[in-house]
Amino acid sequence: MSQAASDSSHKRLGFFTRLLDDTSPQERYRLAAEQIAHAEQLGFDSAWIAQHHFHRDEGGLPAPLVFLAYVAANTRHIRLGTGVITLAMENALRVAEDAAVLDLLAGGRLEIGLGSGGTASSFIPFGLTLDTRGEAFAQNLQTLRDAWQGKALKGEGNQLYPPAPQLNRRLWQATFSPEGGARAGAAGDGLMLSRTQPRPEGQPELPLDVLQNRIIDAYLEALPAGVEPRILGSRTAFVSDDAEEARRLAEKGLRRQAYNFQLAGHKTRGDSLDDYIAAFDVHLGTAEQVITSLKRDTALARVTDLAFQVHSIDPPHPYILRSIELIAKKVAPALGWVRQTPKSIAKPQPLHFELSKETL
């Protein structure tokens, strides 16, 4: 088994949120922004948000770049990433333009994670289906790359403004398959691995790291010589001061996920909390318990970036803040993360306008 270059170097630490708090949309966005700011204060290197259209219970954020623009104005150092933009449903040129502007406003902190999407009903309003998403994703990804590379666009003299060639070096692709891993590697993009993923037919107990090690192998094999690997491993980790309290808070969210999972035609291996913890690849409990659990995940030893989220446990906001703190202070250091002194990033200055008498 090949190894990622990160085995002998420090890992980067990320916070991931899907904005699933049981409250209004406005409050969801406020709480998520506060969680990201809290993660920055504790030294997290990056923050990631997911895009979901229409479905309140899947993520609640259809416009991730708009949200990240707000977060950028209220943070200084933490890198801001999409995990993911469902590119098949987007106008690729508008994504290219919005990302270019946001990266300038954020001081070069933007990371662009992309995926093809997986909720069948969400494609229909965009004139797509699950069967056509792959082709749409590939076409839009090429348009995105071309625009950022500064290639001429259709129509005389058209070229992306503001130019953003740097963003092609910050693309990430999310995938569940070795084939997808190979595509991301061949392109020199980063690889995004999910916190959980479907098991092959007839292998419901196959460990997540076995599946994802195959994807990592394919990615590294396809990566061009001299290109530094970027592998983000996302995991569900809820850390609490009290193990029993962590289990109590996990019960509601995991049972909701199991219900939705079964509605989609899938089966779980039982209906106890421990069955759901195993089925959805959850790590929870005290810092010591979570460290022990995560160290059994051999794929995490190979990633360059660790990203933790509390979903689908979805505890109340104060518990999320405490979990972020315990991850930064206890869990992540045990997995190879060392807090770095952030590079100085100039905060954009407010614009000042003076109106002359002639203007008035």
**pLDDT tens digits for 253-300?**
999 888 888 777 777 778 999 999 999 999 999 999 999 999 999 999
The pLDDT, as a whole number, for residue 234 is 98
Identify whether the C-beta of residue 331 lies closer than 8 Å to the C-beta of residue 294: yes
Residue 320 has which token pair?
């999320």
The pLDDT, as a whole number, for residue 266 is 74
Q: How far apart are CA 49 and CA 15, in angstroms?
A: 9
pTM of the model: 0.91
- pLDDT over threshold 80, residue 14: yes
**What's the CA angle centered on 263, arms 259 and 264, to 5 degrees?**
120
Burial class (CB in 10 A: 0-12, 13-18, 19+), 354: exposed
**What's the CA angle centered on 290, arms 286 and 295, to 5 degrees?**
150
Q: How far apart are CA 266 and CA 256, in angstroms?
A: 14
The pLDDT, as a whole number, for residue 8 is 40
CATH topology of domain 5-334: TIM Barrel (3.20.20)
- pLDDT over threshold 50, residue 15: yes
Closest of 327, 307, 298, 284 to residue 234, by C-alpha: 307
The pLDDT, as a whole number, for residue 357 is 52
Identify whether the C-beta of residue 260 lies closer than 8 Å to the C-beta of residue 187: no
Helix (H) or strand (E) holding 212: helix 208-222
The pLDDT, as a whole number, for residue 5 is 47
Identify whether the C-beta of residue 85 lies closer than 8 Å to the C-beta of residue 113: yes
